[in-house]
Chains A and B, each alone.
Chain A
Amino acid sequence: MVAAEAAGFIALGAGIAVGLTGLGAGIGEQSIGAAAIGAMAEDPKFFGKGLLMTVIPESIVIFGLVVALILLFVF
Chain B
Amino acid sequence: MLKPEKMVRVVVVGTNDALDQTIESLHKLNLLHIIDYVEEEAGFKIGKPGSMASKFSEYLVTLRSIESQLGSEEGSGFDKKILAEELSPQIEPTLSELEEEVLKQHDLMRSIETELKQKQDIEDTIKSLALLPLSLEDYTGYQSIKVFVGFIDSNIEDAIRAETNQYELYTGSIEGKKIIAVAVAKEKEDEINKILQNDSTYTEIRPPELTGNPQTALEEIAAAKAELTKELANAESELIRLKQEYAEFMLASEEYLTIETQKSEAPLRFATTDHAFVVDGWIPLNKYDDFEKTIEGGAGNVYVSRLEDEEVKDVPIALDNPKPAKPFELLVETFATPKYKEIDPSLILFITFPLFYGIMLGDIGYGVLLGILSWIIMSKVKSGGLHELAIILMYSALSTIFFGIIFGEVFGFPLFNIMHHGMVEGGILGIAGPNIGMLHLPIHRFAEVKPLLVMTFVIGILHITLGLILGIRNVSIEHGFKHAVTGKLCWLMILFGGIMAIVTAMPAILWGDILNTQDPIFVSGIVLGIIGIILLVKGEGAIAIMEIPTLLSNIFSYARILAIGLSSAGIALAVNTICRDVLFAQGGVFIVVGILVLILGHTINLLLGIIGPGLHSLRLQYVEFFTKFYEGGGTKYNPFGFIRKYTEE
Contacts and interface: CB of A to CB of B under 8 A. Distances in A.
Interface of A: 48-49, 51-52, 55-56, 58-59, 62-63, 65-66, 69-70, 72-75
Contact of B450 (A52, A63, A73): A73
Nearest to B510: A74
A69 B623 contact: no
Contact of A69 (B510, B553, B559): B559
Contact of B556 (A48, A62, A72): A62
B563 interface: yes
A65 to B, nearest CB: 5
Interface in B441-463: 449-450, 453
Contact of A66 (B334, B559, B622): B559
Interface residues on B, range: 10 to 19
Contacts of B334: 48-49
13 contacts: A51-B615, A55-B619, A56-B623, A62-B557, A63-B553, A63-B556, A66-B556, A66-B559, A69-B453, A69-B562, A69-B563, A72-B449, A74-B510
A52 B622 contact: yes
Given A48-B334, A49-B334, A59-B557, A66 B619 contact: no
B618 interface: yes
B483 interface: no
B560 interface: yes
Given A55-B615, A62-B556, 7 more contacts: A52-B619, A59-B553, A62-B557, A65-B563, A66-B556, A69-B453, A70-B453
Interface string B406-432: 000000000000000000000000000
Contacts of A75: 510
B243 interface: no
Contact of B563 (A51, A62, A74): A62
A52 B563 CA distance: 18
A16 B563 CA distance: 17
A11 to B, nearest CB: 15
B3 interface: no
A52 B620 CA distance: 10
Interface of B: 334, 449-450, 453, 510, 553, 556-557, 559-560, 562-563, 615-616, 618-619, 622-623
A69 B449 contact: yes
Contacts of B623: 52, 56
A51 B618 CA distance: 11
A63 B510 CA distance: 17
Closest 10 pairs between A and B when the two form their complex, measured CB to CB: A48-B334, A73-B449, A66-B559, A62-B560, A65-B563, A73-B450, A55-B615, A59-B557, A66-B556, A62-B559
A26 B449 CA distance: 26
A14 to B, nearest CB: 12
B140 to A, nearest CB: 50
Contacts of B557: 59, 62
A49 B623 CA distance: 12
B558 to A, nearest CB: 9
Contacts of A74: 450, 510
A7 to B, nearest CB: 16
Contacts of A55: 615-616, 619
Contacts of B616: 55, 58
A66 B553 contact: no
Contacts of A48: 334
Q: Considering residues A49, A52, A56, A75, which has the most beta carbons from chain B within 10 angstroms of its beta carbon?
A: A52
Nearest to B559: A66
B332 to A, nearest CB: 11
A21 to B, nearest CB: 12
B626 to A, nearest CB: 11
Contacts of A65: 559-560, 563
A57 to B, nearest CB: 11
A52 B560 contact: no
A75 B334 CA distance: 42
Nearest to A74: B450
A55 B618 CA distance: 11
A73 B566 CA distance: 13
Contacts of A70: 453
B113 to A, nearest CB: 29
B291 to A, nearest CB: 32
Nearest to B564: A62
Nearest to A62: B560
A9 to B, nearest CB: 17
B360 to A, nearest CB: 12
Contacts of B556: 62-63, 66
A56 B618 CA distance: 11
Contacts of A56: 619, 623
Nearest to B562: A69
A66 B453 contact: yes
Nearest to A75: B510
Nearest to B623: A56
Contacts of B618: 52
Contacts of A69: 449, 453, 559, 562-563
Contacts of A73: 449-450, 453
Contacts of A58: 560, 616, 619
B191 to A, nearest CB: 55
A69 B556 CA distance: 12
